Every structure is written in C-alpha cells, then in structure tokens.
A and B are shown apart, each in its own frame.
Chain A
Amino acid sequence: VLAGRGRELLARIRAAGQPEDLAVSVAVLLARPFRSWFGRRLAGPGEHGGWVGGSCPVCGHWPALSMISEQDEGRRWLWCLHCGTDWPHARLRCPFCDEGDPAALEHPHLAGDDRHRLQACRSCRRYVKEFRWSEGREQVPWDAVFFATAELDLMAAERGFLRESPLVSRLSPRASNRTTSKSEVDR
C-alpha cells in the first residue's frame, strides 16, 4: 500500500508537525518482526558461517549494540536493530572501519557504570554502544538496553563521535569506510 510513497508519507508527517525522527524510528521498529522472522529463517541463531564482518550478516545494516558475553569467555556479539540478528565480532576491532589498533579505540563510560560504555574509534570517529552481560545470549534484552542507554549517545555526541545512521547498510568495500586508512598511510 505504501510502496513508493515514503516521500509523501514524510511530507504528511512534517505537515502534521510530528518529528521525522520518530516516524523513522517507528518505521524501523514496525518492520522488525518481519525482518526478524526472515532473518531467523535465513540464518538461524548460530554463528552465521564464520562471518566476522562488522555489518549484519542477514540484512547488511551496521550494528546498533555490542555485547560482551561473560558466560562465553568474554566473546563479543554485535546486534542488528533492524532484524534482531546477533553475530560474533573481534573485541578490539572497530566494526565500521576495521581498525584493529587498540590505541585507536576508546571506551568511555558514565562515571559509576562501567558495564555500559562506548567503543569509539578515533580512525573513523564512529562508535557502537557496548555492554557486559553475565547471563545467556538468549536472555539479552537488546531493545531495553538500546533505549535505556540513550545517555551514552549524548555523551558520544559531546565527545565528538558520530553515530552511524541505523538506516545505512554497508554497500562499499571496507577500506573505503575509513576516514584515515592505516594501510593508505603506510603506502
């Protein structure tokens, strides 16, 4: 029904004086059950065939959250806001630009709570919210964590880091996602 009418819809929302942010959020969340079902059918809950990339193996969007599983020897799982898929990724590596130098990664957190923090990359200036989780991977309340940590997003903005838009998926090769590429500097 709404195919090709997104622009019109947004115009109407704007005309009604509603914030666009909210509309986009609602759209993403509305689509979640379908994408989630599709993702499970496609990939299942496993490790996605050894996929180690920074973007979602099912729908290609950037991760919205990063979870450090204390039950699983500190392994890190990234989570996709769009389809609810989680996939493993290296701990000290930026999911966006593949920066693997620990010195280029910051982990700021609010005073008094070091279980929720950012992993912010100095090379590409992007960040992902990260938290430690001591129970099983099936019990993670991803959405609750995502919305409850909004303060971390504000803190990131204060520190000059950019949030990758949740709507953009990675279509270009990895190296081009860097603002300053290490390998380019070496060359």
Chain B
Amino acid sequence: MNISRRGFLGAGGAGALGAALGALGLPRGARAARRKRFKTAETRESTTICPYCGVGCGLIVSTRDGELVNVEGDPDHPINEGALCSKGMSLFQVARNERRLRTVRYRAPGSAVWEDKPWDWALERIARRIKDTRDASFVERVGDVAVNRTEAVACLGGAALDNEETYLYCKLARALGLVYIEHQARI
C-alpha cells in the first residue's frame, strides 16, 4: 500500500483543504462561540549594531508602543552570533535607567557641591574654554616652518561614535589646530 502526501491531499479534495485551514485549532462551532476581543500588545523587533566598541556586534531591539522593552544579541549576525559582552548585555540600562543623568551637572573649581546647569550654558562654557586655551597656546611658526598648531588640547574619540560623527569630530580638531588626535577603539 502506498499513501503519498499528494494522494492524501487529493483524496480529501477541496473540502478537506478548506477544513484543513482551520484544522488543529478548534472545531468551527466552538470557534464561533468563543470569539471575543483579545487584549493584545505588540512588540516590534529591529536590528541594529552595538554602539560601544569596534567589533560591531549585532543586536535585536524590541520596542512596545515606542518604548524599549528588550535588547538582545542577534543570533543571525555573523560577528557575534547572538552573544554579547557584559557591556553590550547591559545596553538596556543605557536607555531605561532611573539613575541616568538628565541634566548637566557642574561642580565649580573649589566647590564641594554639584549644581544642575542647562545644556546651553555647558556648551557655551566648553566652547569658551577650548577657544581660550587654543588661543593662549597657539604656535604659528617653529623656526622657518609654519605649523599653526596647539599642543595644549587633545582630542579623544570614542567607539560609541559612528563613522560620520568621527569624521566631523576629526575635522573640527584639525580646524582648531590640534595635533594630538586619539581614538579609544584602535582596531
């Protein structure tokens, strides 16, 4: 005797196919009786790259109603195959963390107290200090050679910066005349 899958399907014909659409769930009558509105939620998953080091591990990020609910390694990513280091594994806490700083904190020289400051104030102050330091330490010539540089400011990039951000950062540093340009992720 010989029952092929095709034969089995054919035997039932269209009626069986239609029935099969609902097969293995609940019988039709029961299904109609139990119909109700479900209270549901929806999780969206998207892939991204870990922002930390230059290894570039793949992540699957889950969000619900626009809120981050989970971060995990991407098992289909060729670099990390689902695994993450301890920093990558705790990425969730970067986005959702009650201890995360929400304003600029400033402690004046000689002071023992931290103050909350607005971003505008902080950016203004950082720019001022960079400009003053640069102007005070700027070297235009060494002997006969024009150098136009400052040796009093260093620039340190981080692997959390992406390619385009790093490009702009480096460009800014060169424009200011910095020569000590370093990066944290030397891979």
Contacts and interface: CB of A to CB of B under 8 A. Distances in A.
A154 B31 CA distance: 8
Nearest to A76: B75
Contacts of A111: 38-41
B45 A105 contact: yes
A11 B17 CA distance: 14
Given A3-B3, A74-B82, A155-B40, A25 B45 contact: no
Contact of B20 (A73, A92, A103, A166): A166
Contacts of B35: 154
Interface in A9-43: 9-10, 19-25, 27-28
A174 B5 CA distance: 20
B118 interface: no
Contacts of A162: 21
A93 B76 CA distance: 10
A86 B3 CA distance: 24
B41 A91 contact: no
Given A110-B40, A111-B38, A114-B43, 11 more contacts: A5-B11, A19-B29, A20-B19, A23-B19, A25-B24, A28-B24, A73-B73, A73-B83, A74-B72, A91-B76, A109-B43
27 contacts: A6-B10, A7-B11, A9-B11, A10-B12, A19-B28, A20-B15, A21-B24, A22-B27, A24-B19, A25-B23, A27-B8, A73-B83, A74-B74, A74-B75, A90-B76, A91-B45, A92-B47, A102-B44, A107-B43, A110-B38, A111-B38, A111-B40, A154-B35, A155-B40, A158-B38, A166-B24, A167-B23
Contacts of A3: 1-3, 7
Interface of A: 1-7, 9-10, 19-25, 27-28, 59, 64, 72-76, 81, 90-93, 102-103, 105-112, 114, 117, 146, 150-151, 153-155, 158-159, 162-163, 165-169
Given A10-B16, A24-B16, A24-B20, A102 B46 contact: yes
A132 B31 CA distance: 26
A67 B180 CA distance: 51
Most-contacted residue by chain A among B11, B15, B17, B69 (CB, 10 A):
B11
B43 A117 contact: yes
A21 B39 CA distance: 27
Contacts of A168: 9, 20
Interface residues of B, number: 50
